[in-house]
Amino acid sequence: MTKYAPTKKFTFGLWTVGNTGADPFGDSVRKKKSPVELVHLLAEVGAYGVNFHDNDLVPIDATPAERDQIVSDFKKALKETGLVVPMATTNLFASPIFKDGAFTANDPKVRAYALQKTMNAIDLGVECGAKIYVFWGGREGTESDATKDPVTAIKRNREAMNFLTEYVIDQGYDLRFALEAKPNEPRGNIYNATTGNMLAFIETLDHPEMVGVNPEVAHEHMAGLNFTHHVAQALEAGKLWHIDLNDQAFGRYDQDFRFGMVNLKSAFFLVKLLEDYNYEGPLHYDAHAMRTEDYEGVKDFARGCMRTYMILKEKAEMFNADPEIQALLAEINAEDPEMDAFFGPYSREKAIALKNHGFDRCGIAKRGLKYERLDQLTNEIILGVR
Ligand code: GLT
Ligand code: MN
Ligand code: MN
């Protein structure tokens, strides 16, 4: 097998490699490909799986007969290529009916339609083998807070999640939900703006055990936040069930660049975290090729996403095996037996002993931590000179 071959569960949405390059200022630059063609393209570049929104596969106005034909063609392509569908989701943002949101829209007809559309989309996803169902509430927000009460919005969102988890249980589906946060775009402000917000929201649901998160690199970066820390919180809580990898310059428009294209060092720490903690879920590239590319460029984009991950995985292994780095880490993290008595579960005796202990505050603060050396060594691993 060639070096850096894509051996992980790398997946792409139909909407990612199928993106035709239109933006708010310009038309499509690539001819639209069918789902079947995209499955074959993904097989060619070595992907493991493909994800979709209901309407990436079945147009919103398809007849039941058309739907069945499309699904059967798609399944045939999966069978031919060996690709799987680990995740599916609902398009609750493109149709004008969702201009004021879906589950949080002020119009009850819109909220009810959003539930109906999602139940149908869940059926479609499960039929194609999906085990994870993503919820990205791109339109769940406001441009002006005069228009919607934010507490009411939280309650509407919760009611929708509770209804849909019950639907999944009622159908006997083997399906878990993953909630994806984003701070803005396409709404001026989107509710539950970060992965941390989502983790808190999940604990208020009727079935928190069925709901985890799907963090996306670009979405935390858009808010100027450290993505790796958000992923760590989800991992530690046992809630990292899916992840959207891409890249994004801080403070810019929603860019959806190839993984590692802008912030290589953040990408390194992310891959290291996922590998160190044995994340085994899908690694989904929610990104698209630059508008300058034809479909050969789309393949370069997809191969690049996966290859960068595999290279950074190797770099993380080098970091973990580097004697100088490991010696520095051991020194930094050295325990002090004298302090052991103060940690662990609370007791009144412990509290009294700790209050009476004398600390050499200035002496302790004098110690240099050698983080400059450690970070430079990290850079040299990433730069390939170590
Ligand atoms: C859309 C969005 C993504 C979400 C997708 C799932 S759709 O492309 O930008 O971040 O993950 O609905
Ligand atoms: Mn995005
Ligand atoms: Mn995403």
- Tens of pLDDT along 182-202? 999 999 999 999 999 999 999
CA 21 to CA 18: how far, in whole Å?
9
Ligand 1: residue whose CA is nearest its atom 7: 136
The bound ligand whose nearest atom lies closest to the alpha carbon of 244 is 3
Q: Is 93 in the pocket of ligand 1 (CB under 6 A)?
A: no
Ligand at minimal distance from the CA of 220 is 2
Report the chain's mean pLDDT, rounded to a whole number. 98
Residue 90 Cβ contacting ligand 1 at under 6 Å? no
Phi and psi angles of residue 132, each rounded to the nearest 5 degrees, phi first: -120, 135
Interval 130-134 mean pLDDT:
98
Q: Is the pTM here over 0.85, yes or no? A: yes
What pLDDT, on the 0 to 100 scale, is given for residue 303?
98
Q: CB neighbours of 302 closer than 8 A, spacing ≥ 6?
A: 12, 17, 41, 42, 45, 47, 285, 289
Query: Which two three-digit tokens encode residue 219?
Result: 């979405």
Give the confidence band of 127 by pLDDT, cuts at 50, 70, 90: very high
Q: In the predicted model, is pLDDT for residue 151 greater than 70?
A: yes
Say if ligand 1 is within 6 A of residue 54 CB: no
pLDDT digits (tens, 9 = 90+) for 331-347: 999 999 999 999 999 99
Burial class (CB in 10 A: 0-12, 13-18, 19+), 300: middle
244 lines ligand 1 (CB under 6 A): yes
The answer to whether the CB of 12 falls within 8 A of the CB of 285 is yes
* C-beta 157 within 6 A of ligand 1: no
Q: Average pLDDT in the 12-28 region?
A: 98
In testing the pocket of ligand 1, which one of 95, 180, 190 has its CB within 8 Å of the most ligand atoms? 180
| Nearest protein Cα to ligand 1, atom 12 | 136
Mutate to test the pocket of ligand 1, among 54, 136, 184 (most ligand atoms within 8 A of CB): 136
**SS3 of the chain:** CCCCCCCCCEEEEHHHHCCCCCECCECCCCCCCCHHHHHHHHHHHCCCEEEEEHHHHCCCCCCHHHHHHHHHHHHHHHHHHCCECCEEECCCCCCHHHECECCCCCCHHHHHHHHHHHHHHHHHHHHCCCCEEEEECCCCEECCCCCCCHHHHHHHHHHHHHHHHHHHHHHCCCCEEEEECCCCCCCCEECCCCHHHHHHHHCCCCCHHHEEECCEHHHHHHCCCCHHHHHHHHHHCCCECCEEECECCCCCCCCCECCCCCCHHHHHHHHHHHHHCCCCCCEEECCCCCCCCCHHHHHHHHHHHHHHHHHHHHHHHHHHHCHHHHHHHHHHCCCCHHHHHHCCCCCHHHHHHHHHCCCCHHHHHCCCCCHHHHHHHHHHHHHCCC
Percent of the chain with pLDDT over 90: 99
Atom of ligand 1 nearest to the CA of 244: 11
Distance between Cα 219 and ligand 2 center (Å): 6
State the ligand closest to the CA atom of 137.
1
Ligand nearest to the CA of 16: 1
**Lookup: tokens for 337:** 């037996």
**Residue 181 beta carbon below 6 angstroms from any ligand 1 atom:** no
Give how far Cα 171 sits from Cα of 90, 166, 202, 368, Å: 18, 9, 22, 60
Return the ligand 1 atom nearest residue 218 CA. 10
pLDDT digits (tens, 9 = 90+) for 101-126: 999 999 999 999 999 999 999 999 99
Q: What is d(CA 339, CA 310) in angstroms, rounded to the nearest whole number?
A: 41
Residues identified as active-site:
53, 56
Query: Cβ(100) to ligand 1 under 6 A?
Result: no
Across residues 265-294, what is the average pLDDT? 98
- The pLDDT of residue 357 is 98
User: Tens digits of per-residue pLDDT, 228-257?
Assistant: 999 999 999 999 999 999 999 999 999 999
> 269 is written with which tokens?
């720490």
- Give 364 Cα–ligand 3 centroid separation in angstroms: 45
102-137 burial, b if ≥16 CB within 10 A, otherwise e?
bbbbeeeebbebbbebbbebbebbbebebbbbbbbb
Q: For atom 4 of ligand 1, which residue has the closest CA?
A: 136
pLDDT tier for residue 2 given thresholds of 50, 70 and 90? confident
Ligand 1 atom having least distance to the Cα of 185? 9
Q: Is the pLDDT of residue 80 over 80?
A: yes
pLDDT surpasses 90 at 47: yes
User: Residue 1: what pLDDT?
Assistant: 62
Ligand 1 pocket, 15 CB below 6 A? yes
The residue contributing the CA closest to ligand 1 atom 6 is: 136
